[in-house]
């Protein structure tokens, strides 16, 4: 549900939310049609999503357009806004913590659930966390995020010349692809956190400044303890382009293009763009794994699939409080630097 006009609070806010949503719902709702996004099992316990994908629906119950509260920092007359592309398990604690921290610092946020928009009732299961391909997850998130960007830049309550995009994990891959399709007149910067190499690929050119964010001990999905996310490569066969994405690596490295070849790591891709003079920068954080706002460091493991084809991978998540605070401080410094 979307938030009320800033900075209304309490019961007045709830009433305004209901009223605003009821009026707005008559003009811009885009519910998914029947038969959207079909789930196909490709091996025991592991799936791929096929078929048409849902559009972004601003009236969907998962949509949270949150404005800074009454006691929040005030950056400008109208707040900037951060679109949050969720990770592989849907909107969770890290995404909600980003909402909380940004709102408290004067930044509005837009968070939504791309999986639920596609008709999946997955809460309480490991369906998307460990049971679906990266490209399936990213294609759904990318289409919803692109639609969210096109929708929210029309909202009169926010500064639509200062939009920012953040994505974590699979959402990080979505974010870096968004950097290639957004209009610089609206989006000032993109933050891609913990993006894997596998999925919808990486664009050849970006249109806005991109910050690639990694914890130095991020081994999420790795086969060994030191299989770091930013250095990992995957075979081209696991990649598939996303609808609406800019030209990029999937034209050379995907299920259909050189499937037996090995793709680039996020670090290799980023260094290549930097060498070409494109506006990309890496942010690395000590004492941080996958998801800097996911809570204290948890050195756990993850099992992908089930039965004889199941595989166990490393899945370290979280960061120290100091690392999380540094990350948020860096985000705010970058956002405020876009103001004169």
Q: Helix and strand tally (H, E) in the chain?
A: 7, 11
Does 26 reside within a domain? no
The pLDDT of residue 199: 98
Tens of pLDDT, residue by residue over 184-225, are: 999 999 999 999 999 999 999 999 999 999 999 999 999 999
Does 17 reside within a domain? no
Does 27 reside within a domain? no
The pLDDT of residue 133: 97
Does 97 reside within a domain? yes
Does 10 reside within a domain? no
Q: Which helix (H) or strand (E) element contains residue 317?
A: strand 311-317
The pLDDT of residue 8: 35
The pLDDT of residue 27: 79
The pLDDT of residue 3: 41
Whole-structure pTM value:
0.92
Contacts of 34 (CB under 8 A, 6+ apart): none
* Domain containing residue 137: CATH number: 3.40.50.1820
Does 9 reside within a domain? no
Q: Which helix (H) or strand (E) element contains residue 229?
A: none
Which of 130, 165, 56 minimizes the C-alpha distance to 310? 130
- Number of structural domains, the chain? 1
Contacts of 192 (CB under 8 A, 6+ apart): 167, 172, 173, 175, 176, 179, 210, 211, 212, 213
Question: Which residue ranges of the chain lie beneath pLDDT 50?
Answer: 1-26
Which of 286, 187, 197 minimizes the C-alpha distance to 249? 197
Residue numbers of the domain that contains 114: 34-336
The pLDDT of residue 67: 98
């Amino acid at each position: 549900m979307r938030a009320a006009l800033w900075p209304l609070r309490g019961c007045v806010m709830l009433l305004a939310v209901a009223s605003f949503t009821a009026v707005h719902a008559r003009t811009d709702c885009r519910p998914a049609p029947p038969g959207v996004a079909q789930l196909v099992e490709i091996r025991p316990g592991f799936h791929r999503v096929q078929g048409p994908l849902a559009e972004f629906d601003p009236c969907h119950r998962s949509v949270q357009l949150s404005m800074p509260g009454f006691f929040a920092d005030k950056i400008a007359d109208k707040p900037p806004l951060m679109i949050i592309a969720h990770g592989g398990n849907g909107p969770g604690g890290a995404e909600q913590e980003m909402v909380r921290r940004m709102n408290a610092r004067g930044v509005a946020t837009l968070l939504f659930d791309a999986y639920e928009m596609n008709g999946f009732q997955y809460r309480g299961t490991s369906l998307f966390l460990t049971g679906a391909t990266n490209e399936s997850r990213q294609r759904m998130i990318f289409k919803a995020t692109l639609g969210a960007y096109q929708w929210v830049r029309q909202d009169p309550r926010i500064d639509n010349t200062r939009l920012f995009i953040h994505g974590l994990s699979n959402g990080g891959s979505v974010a870096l692809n968004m950097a290639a399709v957004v209009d610089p007149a609206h989006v000032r910067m993109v933050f891609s956190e913990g993006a894997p190499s596998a999925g919808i690929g990486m664009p050849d050119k970006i249109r806005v400044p991109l910050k690639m964010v990694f914890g130095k001990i991020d081994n999420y999905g790795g086969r060994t303890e030191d299989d770091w996310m930013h250095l990992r490569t995957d075979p081209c066969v696991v990649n598939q382009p996303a609808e609406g994405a800019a030209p990029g690596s999937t034209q050379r490295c995907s299920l259909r293009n050189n499937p037996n070849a090995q793709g680039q790591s996020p670090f290799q891709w980023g260094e290549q763009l930097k060498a070409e003079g494109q506006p990309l920068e890496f942010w690395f954080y000590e004492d941080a794994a996958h998801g800097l706002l996911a809570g204290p460091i948890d050195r756990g493991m993850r099992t992908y699939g089930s039965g004889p084809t199941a595989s166990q991978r490393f899945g370290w998540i979280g960061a120290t409080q100091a690392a999380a605070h540094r990350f948020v401080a860096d985000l705010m410094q970058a956002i405020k630097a876009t103001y004169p």
